Amino acid sequence: MTPPLVKLKVPGTTKEASRVRYELSNPKLLIAGIALTLAAVASVEFLPARTLELTAPGLANGPYLNTSDGNQANAAVKWVNVKDKHLRCHYATAAANYLGCGLTYVLNGADPSLGRDLSGFDTMELDLAYKGPSAFVRVALRNFDPRFSKAEDNNSSRFHSINLRPRDIQRPVELELSELTVPEWWVGQYNLAREYNRPGFENVTALSIDLPVVQAGEEHELQLRRVTLKGHWVKRDKVYLGILCAWMFGALLMVLNGWAQLRRSHLRQQREIDALTARTRQLRVEQEKLRRLATIDELTGVLNRRGLEQSLEDFEDSARGMTLVTLDIDHFKHINDRHGHDCGDEVLRRVAAVVAANLRASDVFGRWGGEEFLIAGQGTRLREATRLAQKLCDRIEESEITVSGHRIAVTASFGVALAPPGGSTADALKRADEALYRAKEAGRNRVEMDKTLEGTPTTI
Ligand SMILES: Nc1nc2c(ncn2[C@@H]2O[C@H](COP(=O)(O)OP(=O)(O)OP(=O)(O)O)[C@@H](O)[C@H]2O)c(=O)[nH]1
């Protein structure tokens, strides 16, 4: 039975393979990614800024006056208007070695070590007013760092400051928080490891606006109208890092997905190739079977007429010519009639087996039709051909063919002819047949040569 045809796909042209290629180079995905990236970058600009009014009630305690004489009742530093955060500073005498004045907001509550995290802000907008001879107004933030700051020592909270000239603050000014630096006097005072002296605003406990160096007799007026911190809800660098991570993650996903699809496609194609290979193998086996069926006689297992004709064609091409021996079982009809057709078949098989067993490997042997067989040998050695025919004649006669318990006497007649190189095989076959006919005529169970060879010594 012919096996069912399997549906075969040609590797490399399957839909899967083209889909993998499409997804790996899908421009829509790329365009969507770029659009999302641009949207994310733009959103950083358009997101509402984060602001913090540092002196807002409830957020900070104060303002408190800064004075060098430790006595706020002496009126050297006093409020012009506390609500407006407006102070006046006038030391009549040098009340201390160092004179300064200003105001402070305290950002921690009951716990002095707990300040406010201002690290998310980028800028500080200051609206100050100053009148007086001071060369600068100092803006400072203190940051409590538990690694070295002590609650009992306010000064141990790291100091960050910037000195602003009076003309710089004539109108509201916006500072980068990074402009505030840790001054040398603070670094020198605490003598800490270098990494502790870096600016940091994670835990800010106080804001002060002051005039750090004033002289006795001078008149100063300082007002803090507003101090606002500004920043972004999402830090720009974090957005960019997020975008980069998203792209890398997306690329990784695409690569993994593409790899998985390629692998699936590869496995599918491998299965298709395996099926194709198995099918090809199966077809070869079937082809061989068909070839055998086409050239082999089913009953005897030797070549059939078609197989013989093909072999004779090969011999015809040979420059050596060939010998032809025809063989016909004697009185085969009688065997059939007497013992039955099946018995006749068995006799055909046995005779074929006897002949095949006595041939050279180079000889070609087959059933020409009915009870007639043909043997072809390369070369035109007449002596060998007649000796072979005689030997086969004897072997068949000697063979004890017993079928279903009946011993059947079987003999055969032989005709021998030569087909010289370049000669006609059909003619040689005809002459072999004529010789066979004469063997039958002469009483059967014998070998006759082609008449044209009469007189030719069988020793050649
Ligand atoms: N059992 C069997 N018989 C076959 C087969 N092919 C041909 N025959 C029979 O072989 C017989 C050949 O008979 P004939 O041509 O008269 O020849 P014969 O009886 O051998 O007589 P001679 O050749 O003159 O000796 C016929 O009866 C065919 O039916 C076959 O494949 N099997």
pLDDT in tens, 35-48: 988 888 887 777 77
Question: What is the per-residue pLDDT across 214-241, written as a single tens digit (0 to 9) for each?
Answer: 999 999 999 999 999 999 877 778 888 9
Q: Is there an atom of ligand 1 within 6 Å of 372 CB?
A: no
* Ligand 1: nearest atom to the Cα of 444: 25
Q: Higher-confidence residue: 110 or 278?
A: 278
Interface predicted TM-score of the whole assembly (ipTM), two decimals: 0.97
Distance CA 77, CA 101 (A): 7
Locate 59 and state its tokens.
């957020």
**pLDDT value at residue 73:** 60
Residue 254 banded pLDDT, cuts 50, 70, 90: confident
Q: Is 305-453 the same fold as 52-233?
A: no
411 and 396 in contact (C-beta within 8 Å)?
yes
Question: What is the per-residue pLDDT across 69-124, written as a single tens digit (0 to 9) for each?
Answer: 776 566 799 999 999 999 999 998 887 788 999 999 998 777 888 999 999 899 99
* Crossing angle of helices 305-317 and 425-441, rounded to 10°: 120
Ligand 1 geometric centre to CA of 202 (Å) = 117
Question: What is the per-residue pLDDT across 110-119, written as a single tens digit (0 to 9) for each?
Answer: 788 899 999 9
| DSSP code per residue over 196-214 | GGS---SSEEEEEEEES--
**pLDDT value at residue 19:** 59
Residue 20 banded pLDDT, cuts 50, 70, 90: low
In this structure, whether the domain defined by 52-233 belongs to CATH 2.60.120 is answered with yes
- Please give the DSSP secondary-structure letter assigned to residue 55: T
Question: What is the per-residue pLDDT across 148-207, written as a single tens digit (0 to 9) for each?
Answer: 999 999 899 999 999 999 999 999 999 999 999 999 999 999 999 999 999 999 999 999
Half-sphere exposure in the Cβ direction for 191 (13 Å, CA): 0
Distance CA 223, CA 131 (A): 9
Q: Model-level pTM?
A: 0.49
Ligand 1, atom 26, lies closest to the CA of: 333
Q: Is there an atom of ligand 1 within 6 Å of 86 CB?
A: no
How many CB atoms within 10 Å of residue 245?
A: 10
Query: How confident is the model over 414-426, as a mean pLDDT?
Result: 91
How many CB atoms within 10 Å of residue 89?
A: 25
Ligand 1 geometric centre to CA of 167 (Å) = 137
**pLDDT value at residue 453:** 77
Furthest-apart CA atoms within the chain: distance in Å:
169
Lowest-pLDDT range, 104-108, 133-137, 273-277, 401-405? 401-405
* Domain limits, the chain: 15-47+238-285, 52-233, 305-453
Residue with tokens 């069912």: 4
Residue 366 banded pLDDT, cuts 50, 70, 90: very high
Residue 62 banded pLDDT, cuts 50, 70, 90: confident
Ligand 1, atom 29, lies closest to the CA of: 333
Query: How confident is the model over 290-313, as a mean pLDDT?
Result: 91
Exposed/middle/buried for 179, CB within 10 Å: 0-12, 13-18, 19+? middle
**pLDDT value at residue 8:** 46
Mean pLDDT of the chain: 88
**pLDDT value at residue 236:** 75
Give the closest residue to 355 by CA, choosing from 324, 391, 331, 380.
391
With a pLDDT cut of 70, the percent of the chain lying above it is 92
Q: Is there an atom of ligand 1 within 6 Å of 231 CB?
A: no
Ligand 1 geometric centre to CA of 426 (Å) = 23
Phi and psi at 69, nearest 5°, equal -95, 0
Distance CA 224, CA 169 (A): 11
Q: Higher-confidence residue: 16 or 100?
A: 100
Ligand 1 geometric centre to CA of 357 (Å) = 23
Substitution site in 302, 336, 349, 368 for ligand 1 pocket (most atoms within 8 Å of beta carbon): 336
Q: Is there an atom of ligand 1 within 6 Å of 297 CB?
A: no
Phi and psi at 336, nearest 5°, equal -60, -50
Query: How confident is the model over 120-145, as a mean pLDDT?
Result: 96
Query: How confident is the model over 425-432, as a mean pLDDT?
Result: 94
Ligand 1 geometric centre to CA of 351 (Å) = 14
Tell me how far CA of residue 156 lies from CA of 151, 159, 189, in angstroms: 8, 8, 9
Distance CA 206, CA 364 (A): 116
Phi and psi at 188, nearest 5°, equal -65, -35
Ligand 1 geometric centre to CA of 413 (Å) = 13
- What class does CATH assign to 305-453? alpha beta
**pLDDT value at residue 456:** 64
Ligand 1 geometric centre to CA of 408 (Å) = 15
Give the closest residue to 380 by CA, choosing from 446, 326, 456.
456
Distance CA 6, CA 2 (A): 12
pLDDT at 341 over 60: yes
Q: Would you mind telling me the total number of residues written for the chain in this entry?
A: 460
Q: Higher-confidence residue: 360 or 412?
A: 412
Give the closest residue to 59 by CA, choosing from 223, 233, 229.
229
Q: Is there an atom of ligand 1 within 6 Å of 333 CB?
A: yes
